[in-house]
Amino acid sequence: MNNSEPFPEPTSTSSVNGDEEINANSNSSNEYTENDVLLKKSAPAKPTKEEEESNSRPNILIYWIPSLCDLGSTTLLNVGLVYTYASVFQMLRGSLVIFNGILSIIFLKQRLYFHHWGGIGLIFLGLLLVGLSASLFGGSTSAARNPFLGNMLVIISQVISAAQAVIEEKILSAYPKVNPLELVGWEGFFGLTSVTVVLFILYWIPGSDYNSVENVPYAFGQIFNSVPLILLVGGSCLAIAFFNFFGISITKRISSVTRSTIDSMRTFFVWLASLLFGWEHFQWLQLVGFVVLVAGTFVHTEVIRIPYYHSWYLKNKQAWMDRKKEAALKKKKKNKTVVEEPTPN
């Protein structure tokens, strides 16, 4: 009797375990790859160049540029006043708003509408009437040294002053974290440094100011030996500090063109103070000029709104801003870095 049964085939445990290990390894590698992709996708995207610039701060030496513009424009303005008539000097100062508007269009790509240019034109006309009144009914009877040279220096100073305002607006728009007070402080520091170096050099150059071109020790001696001079110089420094801070704050929140239009109102308040202290006599032509000046400022800053035109202006301004925003988004998408998925091993 043959009780032999067929011998059962042995199961290849090694092959089964090997397949399971291969499957496990392949699954784990797939899981790792998928998790890795998910982690990389959920990771914050690399900031674009524009975002990095907006969150950074500029090199402090860049503040030297507007400081030198301020120093140059002030120097040329005062020298021009020596060579030309005071009334013509006042009229030519009104050209600042024109140069500022032109430079803002060229370098800041801003768009000025009809009421902006109309306001600028009225401001210039008002200052022209004020200067004409001073030349016709008052002012100094002494002849100017060189009117042509003085007028050219005043005009060049206004171009440099407009460039300073545009540069400051460019810095504030490119670096939003820069505070107006910080900008004023650095400009003052670099301005003081530049003036110190220049005055040190001029002191050693032979001239008519006690054997120097500029005798600084003698000037400080005059100031500290006169209480009125101390008060006037100290008050002037304090007033200029506030003036620069408020001006740069307007530039940051609105524009440099608006700052220059509001700045032209200084002439009106100087005139009122002169009448109050009895330094000038009232002239009707001056009053007309200042009325035109105030009207131009109000038209430019949209305090006075022209019917029908204002609705057209708002519609076109919104369309232009939408186009500008769309162009900025396209540029941002173009510059945005694409996250690379890892290649499988």
Q: Residues of the chain whose pLDDT is less than 70?
A: 1-55, 138-143, 336-345
Closest CA to 124 of 102, 146, 148, 150: 102
- 74: in domain: yes
DSSP state of 43: S
- 44: in domain: no
| Residues of the domain holding 272 | 56-311
Residues contacting residue 18 through CB under 8 Å, at least 6 positions apart: none
pLDDT at 338: 47
- 123: in domain: yes
| Predicted confidence (pLDDT) per residue in 93-108, tens digit | 888 888 999 999 999 8
- 8: in domain: no
- Percentage of the chain lying above the pLDDT 90 cut: 36
- 338: in domain: no
Residues contacting residue 98 through CB under 8 Å, at least 6 positions apart: 120, 124
Name the CA radius of gyration of the chain, rounded.
35
pLDDT at 123: 87
| Predicted confidence (pLDDT) per residue in 314-335, tens digit | 899 888 888 888 887 887 777 7
Cα separation, 216 vs 198, in Å, equals 11
pLDDT at 139: 52
Three-state DSSP class for residue 179: coil
Q: How many domains does the chain have?
A: 1
Burial label for 298, CB within 10 Å (0-12, 13-18, 19+), is middle
DSSP state of 3: -
pLDDT at 47: 56
- 333: in domain: no
- 87: in domain: yes
Cα separation, 213 vs 234, in Å, equals 24
Which CA distances in Å does 143 have to 91, 139, 190, 298, 302? 18, 11, 37, 37, 42
pLDDT at 7: 44
pLDDT at 221: 93
Cα separation, 93 vs 151, in Å, equals 10
- 4: in domain: no
